[in-house]
């Protein structure tokens, strides 16, 4: 791991220095005010950045001129500076941060939240769940992440829309898992079934009319047997896998785990525990895997529901909903 601190008159200039010297995959670790004015940025890179072979003189001159024009505009752009500070605070992965900053720069006439939303929309996919799911959904995730709560909120939303979902538990090995989901189903007026293995699942869901929501066993995504079991339950029910993850993970761990769930067919994800997470780079890390954002959960309470994921909502979470040091410094 290579670490270096950069000082510059503005954060945008410091970011440009980081990009030139450490490469596009450098990760911003911290930002702070410099003792003599300006800012300091501490960055890290896995390996030394090897520059590409020298480009022709004319092309290099044209590129440097274009970059200089961009940097000149960035230095006087307070809203873009706010976007950059937010991405740094949330430990956004290096390549993603650079792409988002460039996209935010392209929308030159918007405020910080609007520009970050534009950048997010250009890079990530959003596919909110319908109020009444049209096919079976299997909620998957690691132990204690909150997938059962996400399932219950989805069921409550379907009931509000006039449907009667069936909740299926296949997490019988975890103490109290069946009983908890059974109690939730009874309280909401939903149907409840159990299926201890994929073969039972086939019979359990065969004649069900209406939404089928499946609570799968919690898994360690780095254990292939666990993933195989999740896939077997999903296949036996003809269900779409929804990956539920903790928004407070490190971006690297979140991206690694999401990639493994994507490898067994997960197509959408739900970040949860936003209310107990200060830095949310994990959300963007998961987005880097290609999983579409479905909903966002910021409370463990069933009545709190799931908000549809949108670029604007995510941008607001990253900038406006955080009492962060970069905001305090700007006031």
Say which residue, 9 or 112, is predicted with more confidence: 112
Q: What is the pLDDT, as a whole number, of residue 44?
A: 78
| Residue among 78, 129, 116 at smallest CA distance from 284 | 116
121 or 28: which leads in pLDDT: 121
The mean of the pLDDT values for the chain is 83
Give the separation between CA 231 and CA 120, rounded to whole angstroms. 30
**How far is C-alpha 107 from the geometric centre of its chain's CA atoms?**
23
- Gap between the Cα atoms of 92 and 81, Å rounded: 15
28 or 195: which carries more pLDDT confidence? 195
- pLDDT tens, 234-277? 999 999 999 999 999 999 999 999 999 999 999 999 999 988 88
Burial class (CB in 10 A: 0-12, 13-18, 19+), 121: middle
Q: Half-sphere exposure of 304 toward its Cβ, with a 13 Å CA cutoff?
A: 13
Residue 169: Cβ within 10 Å count: 24
CA–CA distance from 229 to each of 93, 216, 236 (Å)? 31, 9, 11
Instruction: For residue 49, give both structure tokens.
Output: 């950045």
Note the pLDDT tens digit of each residue in 201-217.
Answer: 998 888 888 899 999 99
Token digits for 272? 């949860």
Run of H or E residues at 91: none
Q: Does residue 40 register a pLDDT over 90?
A: no
For residues 242 and 103, give the distance between their C-alpha atoms in angstroms, rounded to a whole number: 28
pLDDT of residue 220: 92
pTM of the model: 0.74
At residue 36, does pLDDT exceed 80?
A: no
Q: What is the pLDDT of residue 228?
A: 92
Neighbours of 219 (CB within 10 A): 20
Residue 55 is predicted with a pLDDT of 55
Tell me the pLDDT band of 329, cut-offs 50, 70 and 90: very low
Cβ neighbours of residue 23 closer than 8 Å, sequence gap 6 or more: 45, 49, 94
pLDDT given at position 287:
95
Tokens 């780079």 correspond to 281
pLDDT of residue 209: 87
Q: Going from the N-terminus, what domains does the chain have, and what CATH number goes with each? A: 2-124 (no CATH), 137-309 (3.40.50.300)
Structural contact between residues 277 and 90, judged by C-beta atoms closer than 8 angstroms: no
CA distances from 205 to 159, 168, 236 (A): 19, 9, 9
Res 24: pLDDT: 72
Side-chain half-sphere exposure of 137, counting CA atoms within 13 A: 30
| 295 pLDDT more than 60 | yes
* Tokens, residue 17: 């220095």
Look at residue 323 in the predicted model and tell me its pLDDT: 44
Name the H helices within 206-294.
Answer: 224-237, 251-263, 281-287
The pLDDT of residue 310 = 94
pLDDT for residue 271:
95
What does the pLDDT look like over 180-205, one tens digit per residue?
889 989 999 999 999 989 999 998 88
Please report the beta strands in 38-120, taking only residues with DSSP state E, as ranges in sequence order: 39-45
- Name the DSSP letter for residue 126: B
Question: 3-state SS of the chain: helix, strand, coil percent to 5?
Answer: 45, 15, 35
């Amino acid at each position: 791991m290579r670490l270096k601190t950069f000082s510059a008159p503005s954060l945008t200039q410091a970011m440009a220095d980081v990009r030139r010297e450490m490469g596009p995959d450098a990760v911003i670790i911290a930002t702070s005010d410099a003792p003599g004015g300006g800012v300091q940025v501490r960055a890290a890179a896995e390996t030394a950045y090897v520059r590409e072979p020298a480009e022709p003189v004319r092309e290099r001159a044209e590129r440097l001129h274009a970059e200089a024009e961009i940097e000149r505009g960035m230095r006087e752009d307070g809203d873009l500076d706010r976007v950059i500070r937010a991405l740094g605070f949330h430990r956004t992965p290096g390549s993603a941060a650079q792409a988002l900053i460039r996209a935010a720069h392209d929308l030159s006439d918007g405020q910080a939240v609007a520009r970050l939303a534009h950048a997010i929309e250009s890079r990530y996919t959003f596919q909110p769940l319908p109020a009444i799911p049209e096919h079976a959904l299997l909620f998957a995730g690691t132990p204690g992440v909150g997938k059962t709560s996400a399932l219950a909120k989805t069921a409550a939303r379907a009931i509000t829309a006039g449907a009667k979902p069936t909740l299926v538990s296949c997490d019988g090995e975890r103490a109290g898992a069946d009983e908890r989901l059974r109690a939730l189903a009874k309280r909401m007026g939903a149907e409840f079934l159990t299926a201890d293995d994929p073969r039972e699942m086939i019979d359990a869901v065969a004649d069900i009319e209406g939404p089928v929501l499946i609570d799968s066993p919690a898994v360690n995504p780095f254990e292939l047997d666990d993933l195989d079991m999740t896939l077997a339950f999903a296949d036996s029910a003809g269900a779409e896998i929804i990956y539920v993850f903790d928004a407070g993970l490190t971006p690297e761990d979140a991206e690694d785990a999401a990639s493994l769930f994507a490898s067994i067919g997960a197509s959408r994800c739900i970040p949860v525990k936003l209310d107990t997470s200060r830095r949310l780079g994990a959300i963007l890390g998961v987005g880097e895997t290609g999983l579409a954002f479905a909903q966002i959960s910021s409370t463990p309470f069933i009545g709190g529901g799931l908000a549809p994921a949108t670029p604007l909502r995510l941008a607001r979470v990253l900038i406006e909903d955080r009492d962060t040091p970069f905001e305090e410094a700007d006031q």
